Amino acid sequence: MSIELLRSAFFWGLISAVSLPLGALLGLLTRPPRKVTSVLMAFGAGALLFALTIELFSESLHLSRESGNSIIYITIAGALAGGLLFDLLNQLLNNRGAFLRKFVTTRKHLVRMKRKMARALVNELSRVRLLQSLPPDDIATLIPNMKRETFDAGEVIFRQDDLGSTLYFIVSGEIEILRRDESGDEKTVAVLSDNDTFGEMALLGSSPRNATARAKTRTNVLKALHSDFETALAQSDALRESALVLFHQRAENLSQKAKDYSAEEWESRCLKRLQRLSIPVSEQEINEESQKAMLGKGAAMAIWLGILLDGIPESLIIGILSASVTGISLAFITGVFLANLPEAMSSAVGMKKSGMSFSTILLMWGSLCLITGAGAGIGVLLFPPSTGKSSYMLLSGIEGLAAGAMLTMIAETMLPEAFEQGGAIVGFSTLLGFLTALLVKVF
């Protein structure tokens, strides 16, 4: 193994990844509109798709003419294993905070958390007799639109005799329910905690509260407004008729909770409807969730490992190509470089919004540039130049493994983020990236 070959692999690894700290710096200094980074990301994804197709998978087709179709099968098996392995590790790291490295993964995480919270909310609402009398399909439409609010310990949410217009669902914390007796003294009649609801009678109309609600600890809640309920009423004759009957017949015992078969049926129907509904997530919610997640232990390390996971396959491929008979592929280097640049731009802006410091962000991306160069060198050491049939099969499997991981990464993170923010031009930008890599290959 020549030192010159190691140097070459390290050099090309650095060239392909120097766009990481460069992109991060550009993102932090210019704060480009998300539409711009999305178009650039689609361009980079197109270039990388060309590189993977031509430099890796087409190579297996070429070798199969001499060595048989077994190389094709090995490449396919490697690609499947690479995609599954990437999925597994990516999900593992995302659960520990690595989702913060991209806008789209942060949004997916928040949607997943909101769906989980919505299921708990449906379970709680299914035991409210008042709501059991209303069509579950229509009540389900209220849940994705519920708003977040936080109350500090001791803060009064509403007072007895206030006009009510909001139903509350406790995400975390404790709420005291106090009732004033004839002498005017307030006594605690209940303490509610996670997943409890209160104020449900307010959905049917602005009526006086029969108790006071006060935060016992710092409490996060979701709230459904009467105005949202009125919108649902306007869209459903069945809901409007049921609500009208309840409005005239309601009594205090309507809000008592009981678990029975009808409640289970109501919950089941509501959940089925909820699965078909989109969960809205605002940019403000994403920013708040990002800042909250950054406070968690090990979040910064998880982000770094998540970015490293994206870069490991490409660095190994650079090493393998450096040691191959045909030598390094400029088309592949170009594809990786163009894909890294907008990804780092977008991620760096998100990290900054999450509360990470300027220097820490640049250090993370700079270290990954060096690691990519080292990874390319490791690729040369692990897979030195060879011409035997068995070595071709091994290399085809490894290349398939890396290509599968990279294709899965493009499909799960780069293209969804680009299309979500870039609009119609993103498809054309992807094509331009693909054709740019083709021109590099030709010339």
Q: What is the residue-wise DSSP string for 345-360? A: HHHHHHHHHTT--HHH
pLDDT in tens, 215-235: 999 998 888 887 877 787 777
State whether 220 and 305 are in the same domain: no
pLDDT of residue 105: 79
Q: How many CA atoms lie within 13 A of 436 on its CB side?
A: 22
106 occurs within a structural domain:
no
Residue whose pair of structure tokens reads 């579950």 in the numeric block: 136
State whether 127 and 272 are in the same domain: yes
Please check the confidence at residue 51 and state whether its pLDDT lies above 60. Answer: yes
Q: What is the mean pLDDT of the chain?
A: 81
Confidence of residue 246 (pLDDT cuts 50, 70, 90): low
State whether 231 and 259 are in the same domain: yes
286 occurs within a structural domain:
no
Q: Are strands 175-180 and 186-192 parallel, antiparallel or unpaired?
A: antiparallel
* C-alpha 118, offset from chain centre: 17
The tokens for 436 are: 């740019």
Query: Under the phi-then-psi rule, with left for phi > 0, alpha for psi from -120 to 50, and beta for the rest, what region is 217?
Result: beta
Of 256, 281, 306, the position where a domain reaches its end is 281
State whether 274 and 141 are in the same domain: yes
Please check the confidence at residue 93 and state whether its pLDDT lies above 90. Answer: no
The vertex-129 CA angle with 227 and 238, nearest 5°, equals 55
State whether 261 and 307 are in the same domain: no
Please check the confidence at residue 6 and state whether its pLDDT lies above 70. Answer: yes
pLDDT of residue 256: 46
State whether 35 and 10 are in the same domain: yes
Question: In the chain, how many domains are there?
Answer: 2
The vertex-254 CA angle with 253 and 258, nearest 5°, equals 85
Among 217, 261, 223, residue whose Cα is nearest residue 126 = 261
Of 252, 281, 310, the position where a domain reaches its end is 281
State whether 88 and 17 are in the same domain: yes
Confidence of residue 260 (pLDDT cuts 50, 70, 90): very low
pLDDT of residue 251: 43
Distances (CA, A) of 323 to 166, 326, 328, 330, 422: 67, 8, 8, 14, 38
Lowest-pLDDT range, 42-56, 143-157, 208-222, 384-398?
A: 384-398
State whether 275 and 300 are in the same domain: no
113 occurs within a structural domain:
no
Confidence of residue 255 (pLDDT cuts 50, 70, 90): very low
The vertex-9 CA angle with 57 and 340, nearest 5°, equals 65
Distances (CA, A) of 363 to 148, 197, 294, 310: 35, 46, 17, 17
129-167 CB burial, b ≥16 within 10 A, e <16: bbbbbbbbbbbbbbbbebeeeebeeeeebbeeeeebbbb
Please check the confidence at residue 433 and state whether its pLDDT lies above 60. Answer: yes
pLDDT in tens, 96-111: 777 777 777 788 888 8
State whether 256 and 311 are in the same domain: no
The percentage of residues in the chain with a pLDDT greater than 90, rounded to a whole number, is 15
Other Cβ atoms closer than 10 A to 428: 14
288 occurs within a structural domain:
no
Backbone angles phi, psi at 424, to 5 degrees: -65, -30
* C-alpha 94, offset from chain centre: 8
State whether 275 and 303 are in the same domain: no
State the first-to-last Cα distance of the chain, in angstroms, to the nearest integer.
Answer: 30
Coil, strand, or helix at residue 215?
A: strand
> Looking at the DSSP assignment, which residues form a beta bridge with residue 186?
180
The vertex-245 CA angle with 128 and 268, nearest 5°, equals 40
Task: Give residue 203's domain range.
Answer: 122-281
Residue type, 36: V
Of 281, 310, 330, the position where a domain reaches its end is 281
Query: Under the phi-then-psi rule, with left for phi > 0, alpha for psi from -120 to 50, and beta for the rest, what region is 315?
Result: alpha
Give the integer Cα–Cα distance in Å for 75 and 64: 11
102 occurs within a structural domain:
no
Which alpha helices (H) appear in 18-57, and where do they start and end? 19-30, 34-51
Confidence of residue 388 (pLDDT cuts 50, 70, 90): low
Please check the confidence at residue 28 and state whether its pLDDT lies above 60. Answer: yes
State whether 371 and 403 are in the same domain: yes
Give the integer Cα–Cα distance in Å for 308 and 304: 6
117 occurs within a structural domain:
no
135 occurs within a structural domain:
yes
State whether 275 and 396 are in the same domain: no
Q: Are strands 197-198 and 186-192 parallel, antiparallel or unpaired?
A: unpaired
Can you give the CATH number for the domain in which 188 is found?
A: 2.60.120.10
Q: How many CA atoms lie within 13 A of 255 on its CB side?
A: 15
287 occurs within a structural domain:
no
Range list of β-strands (E), 311-436: none
